[in-house]
Structure 1
Amino acid sequence: MTVNRVNNIWKIFQKKYKNMSLPVKAGFWFTICNFMQRGITMITTPIFTRVLSEEQYGLVSTFTSWQNVLILITTLSLYKAMMNLYIKYDNKEQVLSAVSGLSLILTLAWFIVALVFTNQISEWMQMSKTLVVCLFVSFIAQAGINCWQVYKRYTYEYRSLISVTILLTAVSSLLGVLCVLLVSSSAESRLVPQSIVTVIIGLVIYISIFKHNHTVYNKEIWSFALIFCVSLLPHYLSEFVLQSSDKLMINYMCGSRDVAIYSVSYSVGSLINLITGALNSSFAPYQYQQIKAKNYERLSTVANQVLLFVAVMLGCLMLFSKEVVLIFGGKKYIESATVIVPICIGIFFNYLFQLFARLQEYYERKLTVVIPSILCAVLNLILNYIFINIFGYQAAAYTTFFCYLFFCFIHYLFYKRVCKELLDGMQIYDIKFILVLSIVVILGGFAIMVVNSILWLKYSLICIVIVMAVVKRNIIKKYINKILQENK
């Protein structure tokens, strides 16, 4: 009986899967891929947090933060111009090859500069020379990987993308664990294998790109990519300030131990990125395509469903924040659970602002994208400097949440301006729904903070939610089917 039931479920799934559109299939597999990626990370992170000292784990987090900001400068984030280029050029492989070629030249030039000034950079970043070399050599490989990933996502070629992504994550994590356990419990043992694997895969991808299309130089593509990305560079840097600069400031103001504690809480909060990352992999190209086709009503409906899904996932994560911290870091990191709620709320508004910003990017309104980013980045730096000095590393979570909220509001105002000037005042998104959902996320988040401190109430609510989900399972099933149908 059980076997027959499993077979029936499998047949139903196969039938529904065959009827899915290509974007929905791609989104499904991108979600599976991100779950597998995060699953690998979840398995290995508790090993690193327990084997490495808090100072060494803090150094790993600091390395990652420097990596996030310097890759913006060394590559100019040229891959982010590719979606706009795909609207202008039919030859997608030519765009991929040309942008990859320019990215390769830029990162090689920066790598040579880093080799010349290794001592100075090492002292400035408070990292070893080995890590500095790893940092800049990984930029060369990562630039090509990023361009290739955008191409695969835009064309919904999810099979090869998933294979490479899982291979990169699994091998680098496995080698990192082995080196930390068998060689030395240091940041170098964690990061050097990761850089080596990235370089090898990046080299293979570069060869594949240039083998299929030899267009390393194209004046028009290079000019558009440079103008587009250089003009948006302040925006990308400001995004980094909002996402990662707090770790660097905590490192300089409080020390690497507090960086490690804050990083664990941020990693737990960022678990939702496995959802949002997968959604964006298919939803960002879908959004561009629906705007181009002027299917605004359909886009609005899908956007509401995506936002609601993200909010529910964040709510679950906030509710189980202490349990997830114990799994990730153990008891020595339990204090980090206190800041997961504001981090999660900030992540919601970080996702929300992208809906507004992407419309501006589509119409190449670079100034309206850059201005909010700069304002909020400066505000974040000022607030972090003031409140980290007063309240410690915990303040960074609240200042970042506030800045994302402010950031989102300014982008909404510019979004309205674009709608007024270019769409005859037509609103693409359901603003009333978004406003109500945003208020629920904020109030619900802080209510969960109270509930988390009262265990009997917390687990009673969890039981109620589970029972309601079982009772209303048919309604939930219909809602999920509706999402799949509207994404076709």
Structure 2
Amino acid sequence: MSGLKSLFKQTFIYGLATVLPRMLSFLLVPLYTTKGVLSSVAEYGKVSIIFSWFVIFNVLLAYGMETAFFRFFNKEDDQDKVVGTSGIALVFSSFAFFALALLFQNQIAEFTNINVEFIRLVIWILLLDALVIIPFAWLRANSRSMTYAIVKIMNVAVNLGLNVFFLIYLKKWAVNNDFIAGFYRTNFEINYIFISNLVASALTLILMSRFYLKMQYRFDKQLFKQMFWYAFPVLIAGLAFSINETFDRILLDYLLPDNIAETKVGMYSACYKIAIFMTLFATAYRLGIEPYFFSHAKTENPQKNYALILEFFVAFGSIMLLTVVVFADVLKPYIVRSEAYWEAMWIVPLILIANLCLGIYHNLSVWYKVTDRTKYGAYISVFGAFITLGLNFLLIPIMEYRGSAIATLVAYASMMVASYYYGQKYYPIPYNLKKMALYLVLSSAFSIVSFYVYRENYVVGISLLMIFLLLVVRIEKNQIKHLLKTK
């Protein structure tokens, strides 16, 4: 029992440390979309495009080595050798990237259509972030969850605080103080955003530097080959997932006319953030429940409980979907401050449904995790990436960001269906498909009707929400009674 208690405690701490960085991007949206902070919607579009490249290069620079570290740290008798090999490999690859990126920074700027001064800042941030991958993995491997969480939270706090300081207070103080005015630069907002990130990343590396002072610098070539080939499918899956998650912004910038591309990306990215409620719910649920999947994999008939877990997720997720859609226009002034972005509110229901499908996919993925068929996770992610790329190329020239929203929904729904199909083939779980389909289809239909037909008609919207809630309560009343009685 004490072991289980410790497991849930660490899961909560790691979950908090994982969710908070996601919350940072959400908390910054009201700041970036406030009138007068950034000069235009297009400026926010530029920031969104750069962060999309960030996601992709973070995956490339990690190249699955964090996952390989965990696997071999627990497998090998000589753990110091694993630490040394993976640490040296990441340091070498990170500085090799850093040198090459600085050497070809002008070509990278031309290829990505990003200002070269932003590219320099991004290169430094990517280097600093890559250098803490193995130190953070080492903390987790040694159950140093509190240290892990404190450093992660500090990174978020410093980044957020500096953004607020640079974009709001520095500008205000510079007006009345000649000394401060000497440090303030006009039309420097995007630089300030990435300088904030750079300082937070540098401070994180300083706090984690003890790892490099204590690490035994032993590199085993044979071990590295094993770790690399173990990590390679993780790299492919990570790249595919990053394409599904962020590449639509890059394609919008590439495929739309230059005079509107960044503005459309800014609108799309800002309104996309309203769907983060679903993302955070799905992430927190997955982090809390994933240890249960593995700890009960060898118990008698775990499939029954796996099925029940997913049913609860679909029920709660469907309620959250409909609630956010009904009140989306109430929420938008608090999240996306400027009306200049609101044109893209059209995407909100589709992105919410897409993220609910993604959450279902992650819950369904238990089958390939407990049966060691993780290669199917890579296959399904690549399948989703091809759908994302294909539909974006097809639809963006016709429908702009609406095409990207549709592509996201189709990709995640397809991944969900594919995972269910192969899961039932290799590890059958008795899901109540009719019940889950009812919740998903009905909440999606009510969301579409409420938003696209009766938008801001709260009599209709709240009525649909109440009907759905009563339906869920009626169907789940026995389960609810059981949960209330369970101590």
Give the TM-score band, short-chain normalised.
0.7 to 0.9
Residue identity matched to 1:432: N
1:371 maps onto 2:379 in alignment: yes
Aligned to 2:66: 79
The alpha-carbon distance between structure 1 residues 478 and 383, as it changes in their structure 2 partners (threshold 3 A), is same
TM-score, length basis structure 2: 0.81
Equivalent residue for 1:190, pick from 164, 187, 193: 193
Task: Report the secondary structure of 2:49's partner residue.
Answer: helix
1:44 aligned partner? 28
1: CA distance, partners of 2:415 / 2:66: 24
- 1:169-206, Cα deviation, whole Å (9 max, x unpaired): 1111111222223344522211122122113303432x
Give the letter for the 1:245 counterpart: F
2:276 counterpart residue number: 270
- 1:451 maps to 450
Task: Please tell me whether the aligned partners of residues 253 and 389 of structure 1 are also in contact (alpha carbons under 8 angstroms).
Answer: yes
Which residue number in structure 2 is paired with residue 259 of structure 1?
A: 265
**Pairs within 5 Å for 1:404-483:** 404-419=412-427, 427=428, 429-433=429-433, 436-452=435-451, 453=455, 454-460=457-463, 479=483
State the partner residue of 2:105: 118
Indicate conservation of the 8 Å contact 2:66/2:133, yes or no: yes
CA 1:348–1:42: 2 relative to 1, 3 Å: closer
8 Å Cα contact 1:122-1:132 kept in structure 2 = yes
Once residues 394 and 111 of structure 1 are traced to their aligned partners in structure 2, the CA distance between those partners, rounded to angstroms, is: 36
In structure 2, C-alpha distance between the alignment counterparts of 1:212 and 1:474, rounded to whole Å: 55
Partner residue of 2:129 out of 142, 161, 165: 142
In terms of mean alpha carbon deviation, does 166-175 or 196-205 score higher? 196-205
Letter in 2 for 1:26: Q
| Structure 1 equivalent of residue 179 of structure 2 | none
Contact 1:177 1:190 in 2 (8 A): no
Superposed CA offset, 1:403-447 (max 9, x none): 11112222333334433xxxxxxx3x44334x6324522431231
What amino acid does structure 2 have at the position aligned with 1:319? V
C-alpha separation in 1, matches of 2:222 and 2:306 = 31
Is 1:383 aligned with 2:391?
yes
CA change 1:197–1:430 in 2 (3 A) is same
TM-score by length of 1: 0.81
- Partner Cα distance (2:395, 2:481) in 1: 46
Call closer, same or farther: CA 1:42–1:244 in 2, change over 3 Å: closer
Q: Distance in 2 between matches of 1:459 and 1:148?
A: 49
Say if 1:318 and 1:445, in contact at 8 Å, map to a contact too: no
Q: Which amino acid aligns with 1:458?
A: G
Tell me if structure 2 keeps the 8 A contact 1:262–1:336: yes
- 1:9 corresponds in structure 2 to none
Q: Distance in 1 between matches of 2:484 and 2:216?
A: 44
1:316 maps to 323
Shift of 1:116: 0.7
Deviates more, 1:209-218 or 1:102-111: 209-218
Q: CA deviation at 1:344?
A: 1.4
The 3-state SS of whatever aligns with 1:127 is coil
- After TM superposition, give the deviation of residue 449 of structure 1 in Å: 2.6
Structure 2 counterpart of 1:200: 203
- 1:173 matches 2:179: no
The aligned residue for residue 279 of structure 1 is: 285
Residue number in structure 2 paired with 1:403: 411
C-alpha distance after superposition, 1:435-481 (max 9, x if no partner) = 63245224312312322312222244567889999999998696378
Q: Unpaired segments of 5 or more residues in structure 1? A: 1-16, 420-426
Match of 2:402 in 1: 394
**CA deviation vs aligned residue, 1:22-58 (integer Å, no higher than 9, x gap):** 2333344455556665665544321211211211111
The answer to whether the 8 Å contact 2:20/2:156 transfers is no
| Cα distance in 2 for residues equivalent to 1:91 and 1:323 | 57
Q: How many residues align?
A: 457
Residue 126 of structure 1 and its aligned partner are, at CA, apart by 1.4
Query: Which residue type is aligned with residue 101 of structure 2?
Result: A
Query: Quick one: distance in 2 between partners of 1:234 and 1:83?
Result: 18
The CA distance in 2 between the partners of 1:410 and 1:44, in whole Å, is 35
Residue 46 of structure 2: aligned partner: 59
Q: Which AA in structure 2 matches 1:72? A: V
In the alignment, what sits opposite 1:360?
A: 368
Structure 1 contact 31–279 (Cα < 8 Å) conserved: no
Q: How much does 1:220 deviate?
A: 5.6
Per-residue deviation, residues 4-27 of structure 1 (Å, max 9, x unmatched): xxxxxxxxxxxxx99972233334
Aligned residues with identical type, % of pairs? 18
CA distance in 1: counterparts of 2:53 and 2:42, whole angstroms: 16
After superposition, give the CA deviation of every residue in 1:121-179 in whole Å (9 maximum; x if it has no partner). 01111112232222222223323444454555566643222211221111111112222
Gap change, CA 1:370 and 1:47, over 3 Å in 2: closer
| 1:5 corresponds to | none
Residues 1:356 and 1:241: Cα distance change in structure 2 (over 3 Å): same
Tell whether the 8 Å contact from 2:318 to 2:443 is kept in structure 1 after alignment: no
- Summarize deviations over 1:37-87 as a string: whole Å, max 9, x none: 566554432121121121111111101100111222222132133444355
Summarize deviations over 1:250-309 as a string: whole Å, max 9, x none.
112230111111111221112333233333444444434443667734444445444544
CA contact (8 A) 1:29 1:158 kept: yes
Q: Are the structure 2 counterparts of residues 131 and 213 from structure 1 closer, same or farther at C-alpha, using a change threshold of 3 Å?
A: same
Secondary structure of the residue that 1:431 maps to in structure 2?
A: coil
For residues 210-268 of structure 1, the C-alpha deviation after alignment (integer angstroms, 9 at most, x for no partner) is 34542653446523331122234332222122111111111122301111111112211
Q: Distance in 2 between matches of 1:336 and 1:90?
A: 55
Relative distance call for 1:151 and 1:284 in structure 2 (3 A) is: farther
Amino acid at match of 1:276: A
Distance 1:195 1:293, change over 3 A: farther
Change (3 A) 1:76 1:41: closer
